[in-house]
Amino acid sequence: MSLQANPVAIVVHGGAGRIERESLTPELERLYHETLERSLRAGHEILRGGGSALDAVEAAIVIMEDAPVFNAGKGSVFTAEGKNELDASIMNGSGLQAGAVGGVTTVKNPIRVARAVMENSKHVFFTNEGAEKFAADNGLELVKPDYFRTDRRWKQFLNWRKQEEARAKPQAATTLEQPEDYFGTVGCVALDAKGNIAAGTSTGGMTGKRFGRIGDSPIIGAGTYADNRTAGISCTGHGEYFIRHAVAHDISARIAYKKESLAKAADDVVKSVLKKAGGNGGVIAIDAEGNVVMEFNTPAMSRGYIDREGKLKTAIFK
């Protein structure tokens, strides 16, 4: 049976947030689009060649982790202590196998380690030093912590710290969230020619996060989920809300139990459930038929897809 008879598709995101069009320089906007396209083409080439959805997801996310424009891998945001702590997860929809890492500081590509956890251990989720030791034991590339630092993210951190100090003073401004806080987490979902779906997500977390905070990105069912019977989903946004509402799994469950379409399930969860709870963000997803969804409730979500007809598109704003 030809690959055309078994459609392939891939979708990626580079994060959702409250960023406004006028705040993006032409150079930065161009970098977003170029990196999204490179990521999509890398994954799609694997799919077109008969490769697995897992390989496509990993390849696409590695490109985004290595690009300093996104809040994942190199270019991750800083914690309240001025460090970079990274999280990632990946899931295989054919058997519900999953792997994740959290709070790593020396792993060059967290998505690779997440996959190794899935394939080379009996566990699902490793954190901190344990995850880094597992990465070293499995021959994955380690780097010095300063590898992840970029001037852009350091300036954001200094700005956040100034606002934090101002907030502690009388008559301080009550807002310290910045548009960049939630803009940058990366993710990918792919459908291969064998009908297998995979999803993955990788992030540097939230600017100013404290005490080893871990968001939804490495949590299976919250930030990432994949099931061949329903869909693959990768999330981005204010992680605490995605955890509380098990967003990725909720979308899958609505398809399985309520027989909703992927489009309706994603729209209801993102535009209704999350919005009513005060949660900002979005999701990307692909179902078993290769339908692609990119849903968000913020002014922007960097995103792109190559659909089952081979059409490529990238976008940032609505």
Of the residues 35, 79, 106, 185, only one is catalytic, namely 185
Element (H, E) at 27: helix 26-48
Instruction: For residues 168 and 270, give the distance between their C-alpha atoms in angstroms, rounded to a whole number.
Output: 33
Q: How far is CA 18 from CA 163, 180, 279, in A?
A: 18, 8, 12
Instruction: For residues 253 and 171, give the distance between their C-alpha atoms in angstroms, rounded to a whole number.
Output: 46
Cβ partners under 8 Å of residue 22, min gap 6:
none
Q: Name the packing angle between helices 26-48 and 53-66 (round to 10°).
A: 160
Cβ partners under 8 Å of residue 94, min gap 6:
196, 197, 228
- Residue of 267, 271, 266, 272 whose CA lies nearest to 249: 266
Residue 220 has what DSSP assignment? Answer: B
224 is catalytic: no
Instruction: For residues 243 and 217, give the distance between their C-alpha atoms in angstroms, rounded to a whole number.
Output: 9
Indicate the Cα dihedral angle 156, 161, 164, 166, nearest 10°.
-100
Instruction: For residues 242 and 16, give the distance between their C-alpha atoms in angstroms, rounded to a whole number.
Output: 13
Active site amino acids: 185
